Amino acid sequence: MMRRHTFLAAGLAGISTAVLAPTLAWAAPPQRPIAVVPLDDRPVNVYCAAITAAVAGRQVVFPPRDALGRFFQPGDGAAVARWLAAADTREFVISVSMLAYGGLIASRTAEPTLDAARANVEAIRALRRAKPDATILVHDMIQRLALTSKDPELSEYITLIVQWTKLYDQVENLGQEELRAQLDEVRAKIPDAMLDDYLAARGRNHEINTLMVDWVADGTITHLVLSEDDTAPVGLGRAERVELERRVAERGIGDRVEIFPGADEVDALLVARLIPGEAAPSFRLDYSGVPGAQWTAELEGIPFEDNIRRHVATVGGTVGDGEIVLAVNTPSASPERRAADVDAFTARIATHLAAGTPVIVVDPVFVDRADHDLVARLERDVELPRLLSYSGWNTGGNALGLALSHGVARWALLGASGSGLACRTDLGEPGRAHAEYLLYRFVKDDPWKNVIQKDAYAEARARGWNPLSLTAEQKVFFDGWVRERLVPVTRQYFTDHFAGHDLVLGRRGSTTVTARLDDLGEVVVELPWDRLFEVTLEPQVTLSAAAVSPSG
């Protein structure tokens, strides 16, 4: 499989791989790739979007690597606009944060002007004029409450700005006058220049948010997601969301716009929207603990079940008594019930899989890590490769969207191969992508986040280094430090939970094509940015020769 750095450097190259020799001579019509302008160059926005497509036998293409920027170095929106104009495809997923400002972090500063942002996003209108029949899916972000900075001395002000934005919304927008003295006290502690820059960025971004809504109304944009980055029940983000929701309602375009808590998952989510075609996925919910309607995840501002419904709508699906079980790990009503709740939850998942029911597992209980107790029980009770997907990464919305996108891609591939609508010469390619992505998620979300990353943070601090702002030399050290630990953990995880299992590659009429998960080849590990917050992990799975058998 072509890896992250390869397909970024190639620009118009997509993920492709030859896993197995062709097993059945099933012809598939060639499909143009999906052109993706990612939120930034991190693995969650590049690798996850690309492998989501690969799970369904599709390819994606990205702008040239040097146009995307890196960390605090903004991307080149004008270069991305030129790339969009030249892309030879009819399906587009476009992050406005990259196109307008140069990426997620750049979008949080006031440096890119409104005029420059408007000029860059004009590429979307030009694309519609040039390709009237194109599907143009767009993602823009409602700015998060906090700033982003490499300087630990600014952490005090970052906290104060979050407090101020919440208090301002409560006092000025929600009329809670009893909080005014507290608002004034916090405001007095924030330097004017810092708050001015923060508000200028928010104002500019809200103007572009509003413009994107108007472009849905006039037909420029096919479908729009406005995601709320690290939000809360109160704050300027809430007020901006309410304004945008009102504008969407006034224009009667609620069926073409989703607004929900999230951010990094949306590139993959919109790729997944393009995959099923006319086959809309349907879901039924199964919670481990309290119902999602009664729980709001940390860094979000709406009940989690509302967020589920909005994410599901983004992939063109519905929630009810559906075909796919969306198994969602939520807190228990009391600590005493937790062990029994999780045991019963994993037992239900195992029962669903034994009955042939497709299952997606979403693990949003903890921010930025898996619920290890849940994962341990899944490892014990469930044949992991049979899951459509799993994610426990970062915020609740992130975990939800990444699991949904992978699961919908896998479900669509299996359904299409069974119907004969998308038969392909080599079903091993999407099968291997599925196994690699599932392995990636379990290793990255549990042992990496719960153990190795914590140890890495401790090691950095013991050396007097900032784990969120490494020097070039420090990054080289930690590239090796992390690789020495994460590669053997990944290999052992594959041996323990994937090796020797049969993987369904596809179905055709009364036959099922399977292959055995055979071995793990190269495991690529490095830090994508000069910090320890995320890691590049790219395992390369090998499959045995495919076998054809009657469907059971």
Which residue ranges form the domains of the chain, and what is each CATH number? 30-275 (3.40.50), 279-425 (3.40.50), 427-551 (no CATH)
CB neighbour list of residue 540: distance below 8 Å, 6 or more residues apart: 1, 436, 520, 521, 522, 523, 524
Q: What letters, b where the CB count within 10 A reaches 16 and e where it falls short, cover 173-211?
A: eeeeeebeeebeebbeebeeebbebbeebbebbbebbbb
Q: Which residue has the tokens 């953990």?
A: 489
pLDDT in 10s for each residue of the chain, 552 residues: 445 444 454 443 334 333 343 343 344 455 789 999 999 999 999 999 999 999 999 999 999 999 999 999 999 999 999 999 999 999 999 999 999 999 999 999 888 899 999 999 999 999 999 999 999 999 999 998 887 766 666 777 888 999 999 999 999 999 999 999 999 999 999 999 889 989 999 999 999 999 999 999 999 999 999 999 888 899 999 999 999 999 999 999 999 999 999 999 999 999 999 998 778 999 999 999 999 999 999 999 899 999 999 999 999 999 999 999 999 999 999 999 999 999 999 999 999 999 999 999 999 999 999 999 999 999 999 999 999 999 999 999 999 999 999 999 999 999 886 555 444 447 889 999 999 999 999 999 999 999 999 999 999 999 999 999 999 999 999 999 999 999 999 999 999 999 999 999 998 777 889 999 999 999 999 999 999 999 999 999 999 977 777 765
Two structure tokens written together for 307:
């967020």
| CB within 8 Å of 348: residues ≥ 6 apart | 286, 327
Instruction: Supply φ then ψ for residue 144, to 5 degrees.
Output: -70, 165
CA angle 114, 116, 121 (to 5 degrees): 95
Separation between Cα atoms, residue 431 and residue 543, nearest integer Å = 9
Structure tokens, 542: 């090998």
Two structure tokens written together for 552: 């059971």
Question: Which pLDDT value is given to residue 22?
Answer: 35
Predicted model pTM? 0.92
What residues have CB less than 8 Å from 376, skipping those under 6 apart?
A: none
- Report which of 146, 99, 68 is spatially closest to residue 528, judged by C-alpha positions: 68
What is the pairing mode between strands 536-543 and 511-526?
A: antiparallel
Distance CA 363, CA 385 (A): 17
